[in-house]
Amino acid sequence: MNSICVNSEYSVQDEHLSDFCRAIGVRCFSTGDLFWSSYGLRLFSPLPAYRQISLSPKDLSYIWKQGALFIHYFTSDDCPFYPGYDLIVEDKNYDFDNIQSAKRRHNIRWALKHCNVERVPFELLLKIGLPLVEETYNRLSLRFNGSVLERWKNYFRAAVSNPMFQAWGVFVLNQLAAFNFHIYCRDGAYIPMIFSRTDLLKWHPVDALVFVSTQHAMARDGVAHISYGRRPLTGVDTDSLVNFKESMGYKKIPLKERLEVNPVVKPVFSRPLSSATKALADLFYHRSGYARIVSGVISTLRGQIKLSDAGYGG
């Protein structure tokens, strides 16, 4: 990994992504062909997320100097790791042939006859999309309050004129039934989350939305893959959700997941202090995003240690 960006196209992308991160108050930095950002507690992950990278002690020293407390990435090194995955489409000709489930193909075709899938401006999501954000959070038993609402408002405002972001919506009877957005970086596209309206799910709007938006993303010049999410560090990617993504043609690619801790805070996340730290984090798990990150960090570190003790991954 090189800390100096040498590709002018990457530099332009990084400027746009950095503008977005600054607008929503997120820390970020670049290292060569990787763009790192943190969405809480100085836990940084890179884009492209799918890439397996090798970090030298010099690389890690540079990253810690940028203020990172933790980094979460896929590694190619022979070292302790956690068995992770990413859900990926790499077929530039993504179509119904990628949908293995006959039932899913039927649902998509039926939805496309009754729904309208189209690009939508983020300004529209600010006007009519926020109730779907709240509804999705409630359906997933995620904590939703005024600060969460403001965070998504700021997110959509920052994405309005940013060329690295693109939003898609699906309409049923002229009502917004679901929407998602893509982040473009390097040769990939990423779907952070999909929001939907519960009473309109019977029309299968999410099936149509994922299918059409994936087709358009893969048809773009320079896009080699689209990711529908890796194993989450916080929360649980339920079997039903993973099964849905796979049924939409996304392949679950096993990858070596690595989590590194800044030496300054490492003692707090090492035994025996980690047990007390995790117990405290779990106590506030459903009330604090920071608590969920701390709990997820410790669980992943313990998984790495167990694999290492068992003789896997180095």
Report the pLDDT value the prediction gives residue 288, as an integer from 0 to 100: 66
Same domain, 142 and 215: yes
Shared domain for 98 and 80, answered yes or no, is: no
What domain range is 283 assigned to? 8-87+255-309
Inside any domain, residue 131? yes
CA separation for the pair 286, 60 (Å, rounded): 32
Tell me: do 193 and 212 sit in the same domain. yes
Residue 22 has pLDDT above 50, yes or no: yes
Q: Are 100 and 80 in a shared domain? A: no
For residue range 71-97, list pLDDT tens digits in order.
999 999 888 899 999 999 999 999 999
| Residue 73 shares a structural domain with residue 102 | no
Q: How many domains does the chain have?
A: 2
141: region left, alpha or beta (phi > 0 left; psi from -120 to 50 alpha): left
Q: Are residues 117 and 56 in the same domain?
A: no
The verdict on residue 59 lying in a domain is yes
Position 239 in a domain? no
Which residue among 178, 201, 223 closes a domain?
A: 223
Which pLDDT band, with edges at 50, 70 and 90, does 311 fall under?
A: low
pTM: 0.87
Q: Could you say which of 223, 243, 275 is where a domain stops?
A: 223
Interaxial angle between packed helices 146-159 and 8-24, expressed in degrees from 0 to 180 and rounded to the nearest 10: 150
User: Reduced to 3 DSSP states, what percent helix, strand and coil does the chain have, rounded to the nearest 5?
Assistant: 45, 25, 30
Claim to verify: residue 39 and residue 134 sit in the same structural domain: no
| Cα 122 from Cα 119, distance rounded (Å) | 10
What the block records as the tokens of 53 is 């990278």
17-21, 110-114, 202-206, 239-243, range with the lowest pLDDT: 239-243
Q: Is residue 249 in some structural domain?
A: no
Residues 95, 179, single domain; the answer is yes
CATH number, domain with residue 127: 3.40.630.30
Q: Is the pLDDT assigned to residue 23 strictly greater than 60? A: yes
Residues in the chain: 314
